[in-house]
Structure 1
């Protein structure tokens, strides 16, 4: 069927002035490495700008985590605390030193009496064993804090890594949008010069270009900030940070409520709270043992020059607990132990709330990702293609193409934000529950795990 003459003539004019710019980019746009309508939910997405083989060095997620664990100063501080606790445990088991005393009676040699005595304090009431137990629990608590810090650093690096990937994708998307907006301005300028449309159309196209330029500047700023945050965690200057290699995609689903409850029993927060309660109870026993008086025994020799003979000295010293029975310290220790139990319950409640919030945010972000991949992106892509083809045939106006273009890029931005939010929620959940739990999260949803092994995988 032949098109009407007016339509053919109109289409020819549009083709000469507009197709070389806007249409060529529009045809290439759906092939960009992003979430397309043909991409099934959960399939890997290529990241624009990823390094290829033989190019600049890249940085995988596991490499970033290893660097952070080796260089992060907070982890070094926590490990020093473990070393200090080892010293405290060693000191707690040391026996009291003996004491040597000497006394002289009379300064005259013929009547002088000289005495030498060796004394030893004997601790009673289980003081030494209770001190050792409390010190060992403090050592265990410090080790648990180191492990908790490791989990937090891993989660922070994971968040920073995915934020950087998302920032790079946003930057690429903004540049693509700016290139297409510039092509639209050029096409509008040609149509205005040819007298086909009003100058208002060119003004609107330039306004759209200005808006896209602001978004590009913001994306550039976000990219610099993301590099700075990740570089600070890794101890690398932002300009020396290698290109991150990975695929930004939705993480696996969160555990079920029953699984969350089970995982919380081994969460770093729970383990630390339980160890603190045990340590406070051990300190109560330490103060209770101090209420038992110690015994000091002594043995020595005395030389009496006047009598011309040596005499054996034996002694026993026991303090009388009349006024000081360590009652104040014991009362304080009991109160601190009760406080630790209350704090443990409070932390458990906060942990439960934070875990539920993070799990809910993860599932919400995952639903948004799948909704964008199944409906939003395909619909926006089809609308944009139809508007572009219709404009080339003279069936749609220029503003229709701009609106469709804007809608498509907004859909892709929403998809990217949902991916970033999902990864952040997954990292928060890992930090709350521990690394050993994160490896089992979502094993039943059927999606492939996050792949960060190579920047060139298709």
Structure 2
């Protein structure tokens, strides 16, 4: 009956997951998508948590660990045996025995301890996978926004270059400029069109990557909202480092020490041999008499005392401690590096947005007007345009670096909402 209840619960859980996945798919690819449905970050995260196949595979580890824990608590099965002495029927003696191994030295408790540690580790590993998936979705979502910005920049550059070409052709027609300037404008236009083609390809690839991480197809008309101009401020390193022991990586590394210690205890318990108790009945055809038989048996730990496995388990325990220290050092370094990148990128993006981009746009406007009036050459216009395009590209790159740093922190800590970081 408990097995039937468990099977029914698992079936209901599986159906619930399927319903959530279908609902998310309908939300993204349903009738509203035909008119250009907007995919938010929260929707992308919900869809990924419901439909990502890698996360679904890791979730089964919980049930696997539960089965291992249940198996570890079982006692050995009894053994029944039948023996016959002498093959002649009139003088044959038959013996029926029932033997039960008795585990000594706390082997069963040690096995349960090892399996329980593995069960806890499966839960933390699932948390790590969810944190990693959340970071992957944010990264893919940000990549789509960056690709959209690059595409928009390419279109703006195309419009700017086409305008410059029209101005150059008008001056050439009026005899105020050399045809060489028209050739330069044509070359610039060809380069911008190639850049636009690459931006369109990168945009399509970014959407495909987002769909892969989410584990759900995206409608062709699906769009993501534009990135906000204000970037979230990076949390302080002191706050993050104080909560370092709460991260899934460090908790898992500490739990692995406990696992290795539990395995060492199990190997030490294996040194003690088990006792087998046997009871049975023996019947002699010759004497027509039945007697009871009782037996005890135990291996003699003369040569094999499990000393090799005990030594290996002890060294694995020492290794787990070093790995835990290495994990803490790696996390501290990665947190500080990511925070430095985050703060630097935020500063660069703010400088570009407030100073560099307005100045570059003003330079393009002035150069274009001066070229129309014959005060500047077309090379001055090209130089101003390239400066503006470069500044916009660097601004987009700074925003992408800030998001990349945030994703690295999210991969370690999970949702940074508790640290005051807006999504």
Q: TM-score surpassing 0.5? A: yes
Which of 101, 104, 118 is 1:121 aligned to?
101
Partner SS, residue 395 of structure 2: helix
What are the superposed Cα offsets for residues 20-51 of structure 1, whole Å, 9 maximum, x if unpaired? xxxxxxxxxxxxxxxxxxxxxxxxxxxxxxxx
The structure with more helix, counted as a fraction of residues: 2
Superposed counterparts of 1:55-134, under 5 Å:
55-134=35-114
C-alpha distance in 2 between matches for 1:236 and 1:104: 67
* 2:192 equivalent to 1:212: yes
Superposed counterparts of 1:179-328, under 5 Å:
179-237=159-217, 240=220, 242-328=222-308
C-alpha distance in 2 between matches for 1:107 and 1:241: 86
Q: What is the CA distance between 1:174 and its match in structure 2? A: 0.6
Length-normalised TM-score, structure 1:
0.80
Distance 1:249 1:154, change over 3 A: farther
2:147 is aligned to: 167
Aligned residues: 392
C-alpha distance in 2 between matches for 1:189 and 1:391: 12
Which of 392, 403, 418 is 1:440 aligned to?
418
Q: Which moved more, 1:273-282 or 1:306-315?
A: 306-315
Conservation of the 8 A alpha-carbon contact between 1:388 and 1:401: yes
Instruction: Please provide the CA RMSD for this pair.
Output: 2.3
Partner SS, residue 440 of structure 1: helix
Partner SS, residue 120 of structure 1: strand
Conservation of the 8 A alpha-carbon contact between 2:33 and 2:222: no
1:176 is aligned to: 156
Distance 1:85 1:53, change over 3 A: closer
Distance 1:53 1:64, change over 3 A: closer
Q: Higher relative contact order at CA 8 Å, sep ≥6: structure 1 or structure 2?
A: 1
* 2:340 equivalent to 1:355: no
Q: Which moved more, 1:79-88 or 1:294-303?
A: 79-88
Superposed counterparts of 1:360-399, under 5 Å:
360-390=340-370, 396-399=376-379
C-alpha distance in 2 between matches for 1:371 and 1:170: 19
Partner SS, residue 100 of structure 1: strand
Conservation of the 8 A alpha-carbon contact between 1:60 and 1:246: no
Conservation of the 8 A alpha-carbon contact between 1:165 and 1:248: no
C-alpha distance in 2 between matches for 1:278 and 1:353: 25
Q: Which moved more, 1:230-239 or 1:121-130?
A: 230-239
Length-normalised TM-score, structure 2:
0.86
Q: What is the CA distance between 1:398 and its match in structure 2? A: 4.5
* 2:145 equivalent to 1:143: no
What are the superposed Cα offsets for residues 160-198 of structure 1, whole Å, 9 maximum, x if unpaired? 101111111111111121122112112211211121222
Conservation of the 8 A alpha-carbon contact between 2:345 and 2:398: yes
Distance 1:94 1:240, change over 3 A: farther
What are the superposed Cα offsets for residues 359-386 of structure 1, whole Å, 9 maximum, x if unpaired? 1111111111111122112222333344
What are the superposed Cα offsets for residues 82-140 of structure 1, whole Å, 9 maximum, x if unpaired? 32222211111111000111222233444332221111111011100100110111121
C-alpha distance in 1 between matches for 2:173 and 2:62: 76
Distance 1:241 1:103, change over 3 A: farther
Higher-Rg member (1/2): 1
Conservation of the 8 A alpha-carbon contact between 2:36 and 2:221: no
C-alpha distance in 2 between matches for 1:392 and 1:195: 13
C-alpha distance in 2 between matches for 1:123 and 1:240: 64
Which of 424, 431, 446 is 2:404 aligned to?
424
What are the superposed Cα offsets for residues 408-455 of structure 1, whole Å, 9 maximum, x if unpaired? 3332222222112111111111102223xx113355xxxxx34xxxxx
C-alpha distance in 2 between matches for 1:330 and 1:250: 58
Q: What is the CA distance between 1:399 and its match in structure 2? A: 4.2
Structure 1 gap ranges (5+):
1-51, 444-448, 451-458
Which of 314, 332, 346 is 1:334 aligned to?
314
C-alpha distance in 1 between matches for 2:235 and 2:140: 23
Conservation of the 8 A alpha-carbon contact between 1:67 and 1:234: yes
